[in-house]
Amino acid sequence: MSHPLFAQIEREMPGYLSAAIGSLDNSSAMSVHAAGGLSLDEAAAPLVAMVKAYTDTYEALGGRIDMGSNDEVLISASKGYLLIKVDHRSRRFIAVLLSSNGNIGFLRFQLRTWIRKLSA
Amino acid sequence: MNRIDQLATSPPNVREPVCLYDDNGHQVYWVGSAEESPFRCNAYLIVNGDMAILLDPGSASHHFEQVSHRVSCILPPEEVTHIVAHHQDADVISSLPKWIELNPELVVVTTPRTRVLLPYFGLPDKVNWLDVSPNDNTVLELPNGQVLAFFTAPFLHFPEACVTFDETTGFLYTGDVGAAIEKDWQLVVTDWDAHWQTMVPFHVFYMANNRALKGFVDKMRPFPIKAILPQHGSVIPEGMVSQALDALAGLPCGIDLLYSDGNLQRAAKSLLR
């Protein structure tokens, strides 16, 4: 199943490898796209579990101290990044896998726009 | 509303703060100095709700009096909540102790390597810091839900210099990148070719090399930049942003020129043989 945002993500993001749009409440509802070889499809179940764990951790902490609004989940490796942004209202998320020659700062900027589109 | 194009055709009175943007409760002012020196200081004030962010407020000796007076035309200077230091040169940020004296609770936004050097201007023991990460993931969330995003600009000219991108306005505050040394100064550039002539000497002497400039331009070019606002020189309006980025990305500077016969390249090649 393809989401219209994927074409835009692939077009606008140098170093793009793969993207996923998923739901914290329904792990089978994840939509995945890949530019070529490596796809987030191969990690769908643990990806949803990880984002859910992150959200639960944040909410548990946020109830006790003022953490401010949360921003992102980032897995940073020597050859790439996996950056995830969650819309807490709709409980949906976007994950983008980027090679290390990609532009992580611009990805963050675009994810803020894309997550607003997703939740609109 | 972005007023920069309008200010290019109707030059403002720079003896007062100049509004560069005002829309939906988000305002940006130029609050720099109008001294008769080609090395003048552009300080900027961003106001959004109860946050007031002052960028590169200038030196203690030459600029504080003017800049604080201009800020006081907008809001009480003790209500400045954040100061951004894009690097630690004295002409950019030596007024920091005076601003902290006005509001000891303000937050200083800068990179860790700049933070190491700022206390030498004489800071109190307790300062609230927000570190700009070299991972380019530092943001300051504004009351309107938009953010100021901070990015490093390595070796331009300080090893861990940084810049600020205001997502509400598309303004890119660049510290010394895009700066110019001008005798006949105006707030907004109107003639790109003439202005480039005043940018070249500054960049040739201060910036590390073309690789640093090009890497920075490649990183920032995808952003929807509506103006480049350096700490010295003039504001580069949206219509000239692309030309400015192209010109910077192609400029040999610093050690490119110091070692123009390519000693370093030759050494690298011989190592690979």
Q: Which fold has domain B4-272?
A: Metallo-beta-lactamase; Chain A (3.60.15)
Note whether B222 contacts A: Cβ–Cβ < 8 A: yes
Beta pairing, strands B107-110 & B128-131: parallel
Name the minimum distance, in Å, from the CA of A108 to any CA of chain B.
8
Q: Structural domain of residue A26, as residue ranges?
A: 4-119
Cα A70 → chain centroid: 13
Return the residue of A nearest to B217 by Cα. Answer: A103
- Which residues of chain A does B149 touch, with a Cβ-Cβ cutoff of 8 Å? 105, 108-109
Q: Give Cα B36 to chain centroid, integer Å.
A: 20
Return d(Cα A54, Cα B189) in angstroms, integer.
Answer: 47
Give pLDDT, residue A67.
60
Per-residue pLDDT at A71: 66
Q: Is A112 on the interface with B (CB under 8 A)?
A: yes
The residues that bridge with B53 in the sheet, in sequence order, are: B46, B82
Let me know: does B187 contact B41? Beta carbons within 8 Å: no
Map tokens 């480049």 to a residue.
B228
> Which residue on chain A is closest to B136 by alpha carbon?
A105
- Tokens representing B124 are 């109190």
Task: State residue B218's pLDDT score.
Answer: 96
pLDDT of A87 > 70? The answer is yes
Secondary structure element (H or E) that encloses residue B69, with its range: helix B64-72
Starting at the edge strand that comes first in sequence, how are the strands of the sheet with B162-166 ordered?
B138-141, B147-152, B162-166, B171-175, B227-230, B236-237
Highest averaged pLDDT of the listed ranges A6-15, A34-43, A95-104, B149-158? B149-158
Of B141, B149, B218, which has the smallest distance from its Cβ to A69's Cβ?
Answer: B141
Query: What is the pairing mode between strands A80-87 and A92-99?
Result: antiparallel
Neighbours of B254 (CB within 10 A): 22
CB distance B149 to B138 below 8 Å: yes
Between CA B21 and CA B169 the distance in angstroms is 7
Interface ipTM: 0.72
Identity of the amino acid at B91:
D
Q: Supply the pLDDT for residue A118.
A: 82
Mutating which of B51, B130, B132, B136 best tests the A interface, going by the most A Cβ atoms within 10 A? B136
Helix B192-206 and helix B238-249, axial crossing angle in degrees, nearest 10: 40
Which residues of chain B does A98 touch, with a Cβ-Cβ cutoff of 8 Å? none
Q: Does the beta carbon of A68 lie under 8 angstroms from any beta carbon of chain B? A: yes
What's the rounded Cα separation, in Å, for the pair A62 and B42? Answer: 39
Q: Is A101's pLDDT higher than 90?
A: no
CB–CB of B222 and A69 under 8 A? no
- At B210, list the tokens: 């073309």
Inter-chain CB proximity A105 and B147 less than 8 Å = no
Contact between B87 and B161 under an 8 Å Cβ cutoff? The reply is yes
Q: What is the pLDDT of residues A62-82, one digit of tens each?
A: 766 666 666 688 888 888 899
DSSP state of B92: H
Note whether B149 contacts A: Cβ–Cβ < 8 A: yes
Across the interface, whether the CB atoms of B137 and A109 are under 8 A apart is answered: no
Structure-block tokens of residue B207: 């910036």
- Which of A74, A105, A112 is closest, CB to CB, to B151? A105
Say how many residues make up chain A: 120
Neighbour count for residue B170 (Cβ, 10 Å): 16
> From edge to edge, which strands make up the β-sheet containing A16-23?
A31-34, A16-23, A92-99, A80-87, A73-77
pLDDT of residue B210: 95
Beta-carbon count within 10 A of B72 CB = 14
Q: Give how far B137 is from chain A: nearest CA, Å.
A: 7
| B99–chain A Cβ distance below 8 A for any pair | no
> What is the residue-wise DSSP string for A49-102?
HHHHHHHHHHHHHHTTS---S---EEEEETTEEEEEEEETTTTEEEEEEEETTS
Q: What's the CATH code of the domain at A21? A: 3.30.450.30
Pick out chain B residues at pLDDT < 70: 260-273
Q: State both tokens at B59.
A: 């030196």
d(C-alpha B37, C-alpha B7), whole Å: 21
| A105 inside 8 A of chain B by CB | yes
Total count of domains within chain A: 1
Distance CA B31, CA B69 (A): 9
Cβ–Cβ under 8 Å, residues B139 and B130: no
Q: Residue A117 pLDDT more than 90?
A: no
CA A42 to mean position of chain CA atoms = 15
Whose tokens are 């009480």? That residue is B76
Domain boundaries, chain B: 4-272
Instruction: Give the angle B180-B35-B241 at the CA atoms, nearest 5°.
Output: 30
Tell me what the pLDDT averaged over chain A comes to.
Answer: 85
The shortest CB-CB distance from B219 to any of A68, A76, A105 is to A105
Q: Which of B218, B228, B219, B143 is nearest to B180 (CA)?
A: B228
Output the pLDDT for position B258: 82
Looking at beta carbons, which residues of chain B come within 8 Å of A108?
136-137, 139, 149
B-chain CB neighbours of A72 within 8 Å are 137
Which residue of chain B has the CA closest to A112? B146
